[in-house]
Amino acid sequence: MMKLSIKSVLCPAFLVIALPSSAATWILDPGESRVIFEYKYGADPYEGEFKGVEALFDIDPLKPGSCNFSVTIPIENIYVEDSPEAVDYLLDYELFDVDTWPTATFGAEKCRLESVSSFVADGTLTIRDQTHPLSFPFDFEITTIDGQVGFHLTSEVTIERLKYGVGQGYWANTGEIANDVTIKVDVYAVQQ
C-alpha cells in the first residue's frame, strides 16, 4: 500500500492557508450532523438516528497519524421515525438498557491516512458494558460552515450488536433482529 506524505495532502495553497499549522480542537456542529443506524427486524429494514451526539477531536494536519477522538452518544435520544414502540424496545434493559448505560462512546488516539481525502480512526467503541476495538474509515472534505473553515466527515461501519450486549433474553435471537447493524456518520465540525 502506498503511503502519502502530508505534504502531498496539503499541497493546495488553500489548505495550507486555511488549516491551523498545529493540532486544533474541532467540535461537532449538532445542527448539521447526523449519526444513523440501520437494522432489520424480521424482513423489514429500519432506520434510526442517534440525536444529540457530542464529539471533540484534535487533528494536527502536519502529523496525520496524531489524532484524538472523543465521541459521546446519548442513547436515550434515539429516534426511529413513526415507531415510538421500536424506541421503547431499544431503550429497554434487554437491548440498550438506557437506565444502566445511558451513553455509548467512541474514542481514538491514532489515525491512518488512506488518501488525500480519507483516513481511518483506530479506537474503541463502548456500548453497555462492552468495549471492543473499532476502526472508523472517514472520507473528509474541507468546507465552510457559517463562514468558518470546517470538516465534513462521512463514514459507514457495520457492527455486531450482540458483541456489545445489545440483545439479552428474547432479543438475542437473530431471527427477529439481525445481528449486523450499520452505522452511518455524516457530520460537520468547526474549530473550537
First to last CA, the chain: 34
| DSSP secondary structure string for all residues of 29-51 | -TTT-EEEEEEEETTEEEEEEE-
For the chain, domain boundaries: 24-191
Superfamily of domain 24-191: Lipid/polyisoprenoid-binding, YceI-like (2.40.128.110)
Question: Which one, of 77, 55, 190, 192, lies nearest residue 136 by Cα?
Answer: 55
Q: Are 4 and 45 in contact (CB under 8 A)?
A: no
**pLDDT single digits (tens) 60-94:** 656 667 789 999 999 999 999 878 898 999 999 99
pTM for the predicted model, two decimal places? 0.85
pLDDT tens, residue by residue, 98-146: 999 999 999 998 898 888 888 899 999 999 999 999 999 999 898 988 8
Q: What is the CA radius of gyration of the chain?
A: 18
